[in-house]
Chain A
C-alpha cells in the first residue's frame, strides 16, 4: 500500500498475464493476514485431496471399546486417538480430516455452479433489452427477499435431505449475488470507449459480451467467489447441523456437530473440534478474500 508503488501508470495498455499476476502478488503479499489465510487454505486443500492417506484410522470404523475417549493431553487419552473418539468410538482426528474433503468439495461445486450461472445471467442482463433486464432483476430480488438459510432449508425439504441437494440449494441461493455484481460491472464497462470501438470494428454481440467486456468485470467477481466459498461451507454445515445436509455417518463437520449435540456437557471434544475446523477454514478463506479484495481493487491500492 505504498504511495510510490502505485503511482506509475498501471500497465493496462499491455496486459501481459505474468505481469498482472506479479502485480497482484505484490499487493497480496503485503497483507500478512491474507498470506496466513492462504497457507491455512493450502493445508485444508491438501487434507481434502490426500486425507484418506494421512488419517490414522478409517473415518467410519467404530472402536467400540474406546468410545468417548478424551484427547491425548487429557487424563485417559492415548496417542492412538489423538483428538479422542466420538460416542460410537470413531477416531475424531480421522473424521475431521475426512470432513475437510466434504467441505472443500461443497465450496468448489457451489462456487462453480453459482458463479458460472450467475455470471452468465448477469452478462445477459447487462446486454439484454430493458424489459428482459427488468424481469431478470425482479426475479433476483424475489430470491433475495428470502433469508438464504431458510430458502435453502425449504429447497432441501423439497429435494430431499442429502449433501448434493444441499449444494444445489446453496448454489441457487448464492447465485443472485453474482448476477447483480456482474450486471453492475457490465453496465459500467459497456459505457467505455474500448467497447464502442470494438463494436465499431464489427465485433459480434457474443464476442462483445464474453471476450471484450467480461474479463474486465472479473475482479469483484473473484472476490465474491472467495467470500461465497466460505458462505457455502458455513451454510452446508448449518444444513448438516439441522439434519438437512449430509446424512450420518458421513463425517461432514456440521453433521458431526449434530450427532455430538447430546454429549456437549459430557465430552467437550466431540463438540469443540468439528466447529473449530469450520471456524478455522472459514476464517482462513475470509482473510484470503479480504486480501484479494485489497489487491484487486485499484481504489484500495492507493489508500
Chain B
C-alpha cells in the first residue's frame, strides 16, 4: 500500500512542474507586454520601464525566471494582482469559500438525486421508469448549462419570483465574513431572515452547477448496478430468499459504488469548469467569476496564479480519488 501511495506521489511531481511551466509560459505568450498593459494609458518612460522590468525580473533569462517562479509558488508567492494590488494567493483564498460552498451544494444535489435515480433505473431495467429516467439524464448531460441558468432565471426568478437573480445574499444583511461560507455565517450572525436569504440565493446556482454531474452520476450508477446485478453472488443472495430491496440496496449498491466514487471525484474538474459559467451568470463572487473577470481585465498574475491553483487542486483531488480507489479495491494496488 505504501509503495502504491509513493508511486502515485512520484508521478505527481513532474505533473506539478509541468502545470507550473504551462501557467508560467502563458503570461509570456499573452499578447502585449505585461508592463505596458499595466501602465495603461499613461505610458512609461524608458527608465521606468527598465526599472519595472527589473522589479518583476523580466530582464533575466527565462530559466532563471522560471526557477524563481517555481520556488515562489512553493512558498505561496504567486505575485500581486495588477488591478487590486493584493497578493494573488490571498485573493484566491478569500474567494475560494464561495466556490467551495456552491460546489459542495451542487455535488450533494447531484449525488442525492443521481444515486437513487441510477439504482431505480437499473432495477427497473427496460421498463418505463428506466427509460424516463435515462432520457432525462441524457437531456441533462447534453444541457448547455449557461442556457439552463437563463431559463431557470426566466421561470423561477422572473415569472414565479421565488428566488433572486444574482449574488449570495440580500444587501439588507451585512455581517463581517469570518469563514466566507455564507450559509454558516448567516446562520451564526443571528440576524433573522439572513439564512433564508442565503439559501434562496444558493438554490438556482446549485441546480445549474449540479445538473451535469447529476446526469453523469445517474448514468454511471445505472451501468455499474447493471453489471453488479448480473454477478453470481447476487443470484446466490436471491436464491437464499433475501428481501430484494436488501439485495439491491446493500449487496449490489455497495460494489456498484466503486466506479461511482471515481466519477464523483473526477467531476471536480467539471464542477470548476461549470463554476466559470454559473458564477458569471449569477454574479457569484467565487473563483470562476474572478478568473473570467481577470482574463477580460488582462490581469495576468491573477490568470496565471488562478490557473495554477485550480489545476493543482484538480490534481490533488484526482490523487486522493486514486488512493481511495486503492484502499477500496486491492486489485489496483498490485499493478
- Residues of A with Cβ closer than 8 Å to B? 33, 138-139, 141-142, 145-151, 153-154, 157-158, 160, 230, 234, 237-238, 241-244, 254, 257, 261, 264-265, 268, 271-272, 274-276, 278-279, 282-283, 286-287, 290, 303
State in angstroms the CA–CA spacing of A52 and B230 once bound together.
53
Q: How many residues of B contact A (CB 8 A)?
A: 46
Which secondary structure dominates chain A's binding surface?
Answer: helix
Indicate if the CB atoms of B29 and A279 lie closer than 8 Å: no
Indicate if the CB atoms of B310 and A264 lie closer than 8 Å: no
If A138-B18, A154-B303, A286-B141 touch, whether A147 touches B154 (CB-CB below 8 Å) is no
- In the complex, what residues of A have CB within 8 A of residue B325's CB? none
Q: List 15 A-B contacts (CB under 8 A).
A: A141-B18, A147-B270, A148-B269, A150-B273, A153-B295, A154-B303, A157-B30, A237-B144, A264-B154, A272-B151, A275-B144, A278-B147, A282-B142, A283-B139, A286-B142
If A264-B150, A265-B158 touch, whether A142 touches B144 (CB-CB below 8 Å) is no
| CB proximity of A235 to chain B, nearest CB, Å | 9
Give the residue name and chain of the B residue nearest to A135 (CB): B14
Indicate if the CB atoms of A139 and B18 lie closer than 8 Å: yes
- The contact of B277 among A33, A141, A149, A275, by CB within 8 Å, is A149
Residues 275-311 of B at the A interface (beta carbon under 8 Å): 276-277, 280, 291-292, 295-296, 303, 307, 310-311
Considering residues B147, B148, B150, B307, which has the most beta carbons from chain A within 10 angstroms of its beta carbon?
Answer: B147
State in angstroms the CA–CA spacing of A240 and B311 once bound together.
23
- In the complex, what residues of B have CB within 8 A of residue A286's CB? 138, 141-142
Indicate if the CB atoms of A271 and B154 lie closer than 8 Å: yes
- Residues of B with Cβ closer than 8 Å to A? 11, 14-15, 18-19, 22, 26, 29-31, 135, 138-139, 141-144, 146-148, 150-151, 153-154, 158, 226, 269-270, 272-274, 276-277, 280, 291-292, 295-296, 303, 307, 310-312, 314-315, 318
Which secondary structure dominates chain B's binding surface?
Answer: helix
| CB proximity of A270 to chain B, nearest CB, Å | 10
- In the complex, what residues of B have CB within 8 A of residue A276's CB? 147
State in angstroms the CA–CA spacing of A33 and B141 once bound together.
15
If A146-B310, A149-B276, A150-B310 touch, whether A275 touches B151 (CB-CB below 8 Å) is yes
- In the complex, what residues of B have CB within 8 A of residue A271's CB? 147, 150-151, 154
| CB proximity of A157 to chain B, nearest CB, Å | 5
- In the complex, what residues of B have CB within 8 A of residue A238's CB? 144, 146, 277
- In the complex, what residues of A have CB within 8 A of residue B135's CB? 33
- In the complex, what residues of A have CB within 8 A of residue B30's CB? 157-158
Give the residue name and chain of the A residue nearest to B271 (CB): A147
Indicate if the CB atoms of B147 and A257 lie closer than 8 Å: yes
- In the complex, what residues of A have CB within 8 A of residue B226's CB? 303
| CB proximity of B136 to chain A, nearest CB, Å | 11
Give the residue name and chain of the A residue nearest to B314 (CB): A145
State in angstroms the CA–CA spacing of A286 and B138 once bound together.
8
If A138-B14, A139-B18, A261-B150 touch, whether A157 touches B144 (CB-CB below 8 Å) is no
- The contact of A157 among B151, B154, B303, by CB within 8 Å, is B303
Give the residue name and chain of the A residue nearest to B270 (CB): A147
- In the complex, what residues of B have CB within 8 A of residue A278's CB? 144, 147
State in angstroms the CA–CA spacing of A18 and B29 once bound together.
50
| CB proximity of A264 to chain B, nearest CB, Å | 6
State in angstroms the CA–CA spacing of A258 and B181 once bound together.
30
Considering residues A142, A237, A244, which has the most beta carbons from chain B within 10 angstroms of its beta carbon?
Answer: A142
State in angstroms the CA–CA spacing of A274 and B315 once bound together.
35
If A146-B307, A241-B146, A290-B138 touch, whether A153 touches B292 (CB-CB below 8 Å) is yes
Indicate if the CB atoms of B314 and A147 lie closer than 8 Å: yes
A sample of 10 more A-B contacts (CB under 8 A), given A138-B18, A142-B18, A147-B272, is A142-B22, A153-B276, A157-B303, A238-B146, A242-B292, A257-B147, A261-B150, A279-B142, A279-B144, A286-B138
- In the complex, what residues of B have CB within 8 A of residue A141's CB? 11, 15, 18
State in angstroms the CA–CA spacing of A262 and B54 once bound together.
45
Indicate if the CB atoms of B272 and A283 lie closer than 8 Å: no
Indicate if the CB atoms of A283 and B270 lie closer than 8 Å: no
